């Protein structure tokens, strides 16, 4: 069965490519507003499922992979920043402490009237150095934080903010590779681990 990545994120495309699977991309446009009092775990799983479901609905008999990454601090869900002030405030709220990055991955397939699905949730702890107001503003002006949850990118200039990480690096960047490979193996999609050895 065909695999479709329900994402517009170049990082997710690159990460999924690292598994050596064949896939197409189709962005999923959904409302990413958390529900009232929605717990972070439930929120990211719901987002990943909805992204996969909207694309699966118009692509029957394909497996569709949706994913969502959010930064959690003091129980608050930090998505992507909406303005410079929002972005710098987000970053400063992460200064000199540890936060959690949650990434959910969902696989959905629709055939006739049945929906098949499975998902996983990966939690990673990230500890930041102290960040000054001046540093937060300078980082905002690099344009790197604008499209990233928590207003930073561990894989870019934002890497110098990170003192330590416990968990999955690829999950922080947007797609946990080991866990995604587990889900794909489970539905029989082959990656580089199945390539011929000649
Ligand atoms: C914390 C962190 C997040 N991110 C990114 C991963 C996600 O792409 C993004 C969080 O937003 P998401 O809503 O998870 O994803 P997206 O809108 O970029 O893509 P799509 O919904 O189409 O799949 O933040 C990094 O690239 N580096 C980081 O260090």
The DSSP annotation for 12-47 comes to HHHHHHTTT---EE-------PPPTT--HHHHHHHH
68 is catalytic: yes
> Ligand 1 pocket, 13 CB below 6 A?
no
Q: What is the pLDDT of residue 30?
A: 98
- pLDDT, mean of residues 174-196: 97
The pTM (predicted TM-score) of the whole model is 0.97
Cα–Cα distance, 41 to 49 (Å, whole number): 12
CB 51 within 8 A of CB 28: yes
- Per-residue pLDDT tens for 70-121? 999 999 999 999 999 999 999 999 999 999 999 999 999 998 879 999 999 9
Q: What is the pLDDT of residue 146?
A: 97
Task: Provide the pairing of β-strand 114-128 with 76-78.
Answer: unpaired
Token look-up 């999609």 returns 189
For residue 151, give both structure tokens. 């207003």
CB 32 within 8 A of CB 49: no
Q: What is the pLDDT of residue 198?
A: 81
Domain 2-194 belongs to what architecture?
Answer: Alpha-Beta Complex (3.90)
Centre of ligand 1 from the C-alpha of residue 11, in Å:
8
Domain ranges (residues) in the chain? 2-194
Cα–Cα distance, 73 to 144 (Å, whole number): 20
Q: Which atom of ligand 1 is nearest to the CA of 32?
A: 13
Catalytic residue among 29, 41, 68, 182: 68
Cα–Cα distance, 60 to 140 (Å, whole number): 41
115 phi, psi to nearest 5 deg: -115, 130
Centre of ligand 1 from the C-alpha of residue 35, in Å:
19
> Ligand 1 pocket, 173 CB below 6 A?
yes
Centre of ligand 1 from the C-alpha of residue 191, in Å:
23
Q: What is the pLDDT of residue 44?
A: 98
């Amino acid at each position: 069965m065909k695999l479709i990545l329900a994402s517009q994120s170049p990082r997710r495309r690159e990460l999924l490519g690292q598994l050596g699977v064949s896939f197409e991309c189709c962005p999923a446009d959904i409302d990413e507003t958390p529900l009232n009092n929605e717990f972070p775990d439930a929120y990211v799983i719901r987002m990943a499922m909805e992204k996969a479901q909207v694309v699966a609905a118009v692509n029957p008999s394909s497996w569709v992979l949706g994913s969502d990454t959010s930064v959690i601090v003091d129980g608050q869900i930090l998505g992507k920043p909406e303005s410079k002030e929002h972005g710098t405030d987000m970053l400063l709220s992460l200064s000199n402490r540890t936060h959690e990055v949650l990434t959910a991955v969902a696989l959905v397939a629709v055939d006739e009237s049945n929906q098949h699905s499975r998902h996983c949730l990966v939690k990673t702890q990230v500890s930041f150095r102290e960040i000054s107001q001046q540093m937060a503003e300078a980082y905002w002006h690099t344009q790197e934080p604008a499209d990233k949850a928590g207003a930073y990118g561990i894989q870019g200039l934002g890497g110098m903010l990170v003192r330590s990480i416990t968990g999955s690096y690829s999950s922080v960047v947007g797609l946990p590779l080991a866990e995604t490979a587990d889900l794909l193996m489970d539905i029989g999609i082959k990656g580089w681990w199945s390539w011929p050895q000649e």
